[in-house]
Amino acid sequence: MSRESTWLLGHQRNVYSQTGEDGIIEKILALLPRTDSWCVEFGAWDGLYYTNTRNLIETRNYSAVLIEAAADRFQKLQSNFSERKNVYPLHRFVGFTPEDSLDVILQGTPIPIDFDFLSVDIDGNDYHVWSAFSAYRPKVVVIEFNPTIPTHIEFVQPADPSLNQGASLLSLVKLGREKGYELVCALQFNAFFVRKEFYPLFEIACNDPAVLRTDLRMITYLFSGLDGKIFLHGACLLPFHETPMRPEKMQYIPKCLRRYPGNYSLFDKILFGVWLIREDPRRLAREVRVRVKRLFA
């Protein structure tokens, strides 16, 4: 028997998390046949702010490796857990090279290879850091995706520490399957994966990301009229900048040419041709080459 695909959403609950992750994490771990009470989180900030591991540490006495790259946040992280001998704060940058991957960083800790839970939230290269490690096999992975990207789109930012663009949910789902993980739940910007041997325990009818992702409030859709006018629909917001996206700023074709091309006068066609060449000077050269080839074919 299978359950409703999104049944885990009914367990959303915040203790220290941001959008209900704590309750879902508890439920997922409760379904696993064996656990070892170890977790990892990076970037962990100060270990208190919107964390996905603090509830496990405080209420279930989990041992933890908490990794933070920023010096000021790490000092707070270290101070906040100074009394807990089973918490290992690390001032490290988790990357995607053989020198700084999670495999290398965790080697210096007593954490088991198949520890219970990993939380990845580094605002950009999340896809690449997950892709880069293979020796450690957490049973459950929670990873951030870019919530502005429509569910059917594949997108992964370049592997570049200076960029903060993120990856789409669909791209993370495909990476997860390559690594032996299946999607079981999706919140506003966090996706939950379990190792595929545990997936049948969740009795999910369909784990297609288009089914499991129900919170689409941060997506902005762009489309054009037949006359070339550009429209926005949905969030119409750059959410992390808290700045509205205005349709008048998105227009591409000059206002005088925003009409259906079938209704263009000869003058309009000439004007449109001039505009095209100004927008792409190489376009004229390409069209000339095509016409010359036709003449001598």
pLDDT at 59: 92
Asked if the model's pLDDT at residue 98 lies above 90, the reply is: no
Q: Which residues lie closer than 8 Å to 135 by C-beta, 6 or more apart? A: 103, 113
pLDDT at 68: 87
* 39: three-class secondary structure by DSSP: strand
Q: What is the pTM of this model?
A: 0.89
Local confidence band at 284 (pLDDT 50, 70, 90 cut-offs): low
Least confident of 17-21, 68-72, 131-135, 150-154: 68-72
7-212: in CATH 3.40.50.300: no
The two structure tokens encoding residue 157: 């930012």
Q: What is the mean pLDDT of residues 144-168?
A: 96
Q: What is the mean pLDDT of residues 1-10?
A: 90
Q: Which residues lie closer than 8 Å to 61 by C-beta, 6 or more apart? A: 37, 86
Q: What is the mean pLDDT of residues 25-40?
A: 96
Neighbours of 268 (CB within 10 A): 14
**b/e for 112-135, b at 16 or more Cβ within 10 A?**
eeebbbbbbbbebbbbbbbbbbee
Q: How far is CA 136 from CA 102, 125, 167, in A?
A: 8, 19, 22
Q: What share of the chain is helix, strand, coil (3-state, %, to 5)?
A: 35, 20, 50
Local confidence band at 280 (pLDDT 50, 70, 90 cut-offs): confident
pLDDT at 286: 73
183-242 confidence digits (pLDDT tens): 999 999 999 999 999 999 999 999 999 999 999 999 999 999 999 999 999 999 999 999
Asked if the model's pLDDT at residue 154 lies above 90, the reply is: yes
pLDDT at 279: 83
Asked if the model's pLDDT at residue 255 lies above 80, the reply is: yes
Q: What is the mean pLDDT of the chain?
A: 92
Which residue intervals of the chain bear CATH 3.40.50.150?
Answer: 7-212
pLDDT at 258: 95
* 42: three-class secondary structure by DSSP: strand
pLDDT at 4: 93
54-95 confidence digits (pLDDT tens): 999 999 999 999 998 888 888 888 888 888 889 999 998 888
Q: What percentage of the chain exceeds 70 in pLDDT? A: 94
Q: Comparing C-alpha atoms, which of 263, 50, 59, 28 is closest to residue 144? A: 50
Q: How far is CA 214 from CA 26, 156, 191, 200, 237, in A?
A: 21, 21, 12, 22, 19
183 within 8 A of 209, measured Cβ to Cβ: yes
Q: Comparing C-alpha atoms, which of 43, 50, 102 is closest to residue 71? A: 43
